[in-house]
Structure 1
Amino acid sequence: MKALRLVHLYPREMNIYGDTGNVLVLRRRLQWRGLAVTITPVSVGDPLPHDADILLGGGGQDAAQGDIGADFAQRGPQLRAMADDGVVMLAICGTYQMLGHEFVTQEGRRIAGVGVLDVVTHGQPVRLIGNNWVVTPQAGRLVGYENHSGLTTLGPGAAPLGTSQLGRGNNGKDGTEGAVRDNVIGTYLHGPVLAKSPRFADDLLRRAYLRRGEPAELEPIDDALPELAARVAVGRPR
C-alpha cells in the first residue's frame, strides 16, 4: 500500500508536553506492521502537503501560540478543505483551541480561530492540571495529562470526544472532554495521549486507510506495556 503521510504541524513551537510523541507512536505502530509511512514537519511558512492522510498538532505556551497565530490563521481555508475531505486530524490543547471559532482572553480580547471545529474557548486565571482518563464511544479508555487554562464549550456542530472520569476536561463543568467532527479530533490530553491509548492510535490509522478506500484491518500488537502505563497513570495522584 502507498505510504501513509503524517503531517506534523509546528513541531518546535507546539510540543511543550511531549505531544511530538503522538507522531512517534503512529510511525512505530505502522512500522511494526511492515506498513510504510512518511513524516512531514510543517513549520511557519512551510506549505501544507495536499496528500496528507493524518495531521497532528500539539500544545504550546501562550507565547508560542502567538508566534504561529498569523501563520495558522492563513492556513484556515486549506485546513477547512482538508477537514471536509476527511483528512484525519488529531489536535492537542493549543492546536485544538485554534481549530475552533475563537479564543476569548481573560481580558475579553477575541482571537479568531479557523472554524474547523464548532467550539469556543474562554481564558480564565485557574489552570486545570492533572492526570485524566476519558471514556470514548469508539476507542474505549484514553489516558493523558491535562494542563490548560482555557475553558472550551462545544457548539451543535461538534460532539464530545468522550466523558472525563478523573480530570476536568473541556471546562470542568459539563463532564465532556475534547471534540469530534467527522475525522477531526480535538482534545486536552497530553502525555502523549497515544502512548497510553493504543486503541485510539489504531483508530486514527484505520480512519486514514478507510478514507483512501484501502483495507483497514491492522495486525494485532502486544500492547501490554502501554496498557500498564495507562493503569499506572490513572492510579497516580493529580
Structure 2
Amino acid sequence: MTHDAAGVRILQLYPDELGVTGDAGNVDVLRTRLERSGVPVTVEEHRPGSTLGAEPDLVVIGNGPLSALRRVNADALSQRATLSQWAERVPFFAVGAGLELLCARIEDRTGSLDGLGLLPVTAHRGRARRVGYAIAETAGGDGTKRQVIGFEDQATELSGVARPFVTILRDVTGTVSRPDGVQTATITGTLLQGPLLPLNPWLADCLAAAAARHARITYTPDASLAEFDRLAERATERMRAHISSVFTTIQ
C-alpha cells in the first residue's frame, strides 16, 4: 500500500464518459474542502487505455448513459483485480452509472453487461424513469439521521442490495419510501445526482475524512467552509419548496 505523506490523492475514473451530470463538481468540492482545511490534494484521472497508478486515497466515479458504460467496460474489466483490491480499504464514491459499473451485472431490455462485481448487486435499466428533485434520509456516522437532497434522472433499480445508502422520502410523485444506492464499509454509491456533494456538505466531509484517514492524515473542516455550507442550505431550501412542482415523472 502506497501513501503520499504530502496529502490526499483522489482518482476520478473515466471523467469524459462518466462525468456528464456535473460530476467534476463533486471532485472540486472534495478538493476545496480538503485544501481549505490544510490538506494538499492531487487529483488524477483514469481514461480507457491508460494505466492505473499507485493506490489512491479516494476513487470517484460519475454518471453517464448506457453507451458510455459500454465504451469503458472493456477497460474497466481489465482493471478489475486492482480495483477489487483497492475496494477492500480505499473509499469509493460512485454516482449513477458509476455505481452500476461497480455492480456484478447491468441489465436492460437489449441484454446484459458485466460489471466489476465489487458489489453483489444487479442494476436493472429500463424501469419507470424518474426525473426531478428528491429528498432522502440516511443514518450519519454517529447513528443520527442525515438528510440528502439530490436530482434524479434515471430508470434504474438495484436488486441484491444488503444496505441502501439512503431512503427516498419525497420525490416528484409525492411522499414515498424507497431505497436508493448502496453503502458498504468502503463504497458509497447512489443514483442521486446534482452534483451531489455541493448540495450536501456533510457528505463531502465524510468522504474527505475517509480519504484523509487512508492517507493517515487528520481532516478537520476549516471554519471558512461555513460560507459554502450556508450557500448549500439556501440552494436546498429552494429545492425543497419546489420539489413537487418543477418536474414530472417520465415513463
| Same fold by TM-score greater than 0.5 | yes
Matches within 5 A, 1:104-183: 104-107=107-110, 109-124=111-126, 126-138=128-140, 140-156=146-162, 159-167=163-171, 175-183=178-186
In structure 1, stretches of 5+ residues that fail to align are: none
Q: TM-score scaled by structure 1?
A: 0.90
Deviation per CA, 1:190-236, whole angstroms, max 9, x where unpaired?
A: 11000100000000011122233332433342110011112212222
Q: Which amino acid aligns with 1:198?
A: P
2:22 to 18, 25, 50: 18
Instruction: Label 1:166 to 1:174 Cα distance change in 2 as closer, same or farther (>3 A).
Output: closer
Q: Which has the higher contact order (CA 8 A, sep 6+)?
A: 2
Letter in 2 for 1:232: R
SS in 1 for 2:87: helix
Map of 1:44 onto structure 2: 48
The question of 1:7 aligning with 2:11 is answered yes
Cα deviations across residues 159-218 of structure 1 (Å, max 9, x unaligned)?
1111111238xxxx9611110111211101111000100000000011122233332433
Q: Distance in 2 between matches of 1:235 and 1:75?
A: 44
> What SS class does the counterpart of residue 183 from structure 2 fall into?
strand
The residue that corresponds to 1:81 in the other structure is 85
**Partner of 2:190 in structure 1?**
187
**Larger Rg, first or second structure (1 or 2):** 2
In 2, the alpha carbon distance for the partners of 1:103 and 1:229 equals 33
Percent of counterpart pairs with the same letter?
A: 26
Q: Is the 8 A contact 2:34 2:221 kept in 1?
A: no
Q: Which consecutive unaligned segments of at least 5 residues does structure 2 have? A: none
Contact 1:106 1:122 in 2 (8 A): no
Aligned residue for 1:129, secondary structure, equals strand
- The RMSD of aligned alpha carbons is 1.8
Write the deviation string for residues 80-135 of structure 1: whole angstroms up to 9, x where unpaired: 10011x2111111101011011011113x221111112211112253221111211
Confirm or deny: 8 A CA contact 1:154 1:160 kept in the other structure.
no
Q: Deviations over 1:38-84 (max 9, x none)?
A: 01011111222223001111111222121111111211111110011
Residue of structure 1 equivalent to 2:213: 210
The two structures have a TM-score, normalised by structure 2, of: 0.85
Secondary structure, in 3 states, of the residue corresponding to 1:47? coil
Of 178, 197, 200, which residue of structure 2 is paired with 1:197?
Answer: 200
Q: Is the 8 A contact 2:161 2:182 kept in 1?
A: no
Asked if 1 retains the 8 angstrom alpha-carbon contact of 2:168 and 2:178, the reply is: yes
Q: Bigger shift: 15-24 or 120-129?
A: 120-129
Distance 1:235 1:9 in 2: 34
185-194 vs 66-75, which moves further: 66-75
State the secondary structure of the residue aligned to 1:118. strand
User: Secondary structure of the residue that 1:29 maps to in structure 2?
Assistant: helix
Across the two proteins, how many residue pairs are aligned to each other?
Answer: 230
When structure 1 is superposed on structure 2, of 209-218 and 181-190 the one drifting more is: 209-218
Q: In 2 relative to 1, CA 77–28 (structure 1 residues): closer, same or farther, beyond 3 Å?
A: same
CA contact (8 A) 1:130 1:167 kept: yes
